[in-house]
Structure 1
Amino acid sequence: MKKNKTVTKKELAQHLHDNLGFSVRSMSRVVDEVFELIKEALIIGEPVKIVRFGTFEPYERRGRRGVSPRSGEAIEIPDQKTVVFRPSPTLRKNLNAR
């Protein structure tokens, strides 16, 4: 994989193809299925833990008052769901070693 570039699903599938020998099309389906499983778990509120990589956790932001940058008037920002990623100690150690 190239450095200083965003990794795409297509590149993940190509990397799996290069290392495992299965077709790019089947590896693309595998990548899609993995992301679909992660997405489904997060939607129902379950964290997704990938050992030696990290944990994806659903997180609910409370609504708050804000100011519209265009008009300057006060607005209500509703509750929002988002995802938080917490890297594992192993990943953090590897990132800091470089």
Structure 2
Amino acid sequence: MTVTKKDLALYLHENLGFSVRSMGQVVDKLFEEMKLALERGEKVKIVKFGQFTPYKRPTRKGVNPKDGAPILIEGKKTVVFYPSSTLKKLINEE
């Protein structure tokens, strides 16, 4: 199952009673703020869920699969997610 931003807005609407449209705006603003923080190089920590951390991959050596020639693979920025211990326990419960 995939959870979309629309699903989150509907869930908030059903549980808080505000309009779907206003809850959609809240969800959009939340993700926009998370994105901006990550772009600034800041960690985004959600208690009892996990932490999103910006990470810079270093440049590394690689091999061109077509001809076997050595190449340099440029480093790039990415985001790493570390789940909280609470989330890990929840997922691993049987």
TM-score (norm 1): 0.88
Distance in 1 of aligned mates of 2:7 and 2:62: 40
Could you tell me which of 30, 35, 43 is aligned with 2:31? Answer: 35
Could you tell me which of 54, 57, 78 is aligned with 1:58? Answer: 54
Letter in 2 for 1:73: A
Q: Which residue of 1 aligns with 2:74?
A: 78
Deviation at 1:75, TM superposition (A): 2.2
Deviation at 1:60, TM superposition (A): 0.7
Q: Which residue of 1 aligns with 2:20?
A: 24
Kindly provide the CA deviation profile for residues 25-51 of structure 1, in whole angstroms up to 9, marking residues without a partner as x: 111110011101111111111101111
When the two structures are aligned, how many residues end up with a matched partner? 94
Q: Which residue of 2 aligns with 1:88?
A: 84
Letter in 2 for 1:65: K
Structure 1, unaligned runs of 5 or more: none
Identity %: 60
Structure 2, unaligned runs of 5 or more: none
Q: Could you say if the C-alpha distance between residues 70 and 20 of structure 1 is closer, same or farther in structure 2, counting changes exceeding 3 Å?
A: farther
RMSD, aligned α-carbons: 1.2
Could you tell me which of 2, 5, 8 is aligned with 1:9? Answer: 5
Could you tell me which of 42, 48, 63 is aligned with 1:46? Answer: 42
TM-score (norm 2): 0.92
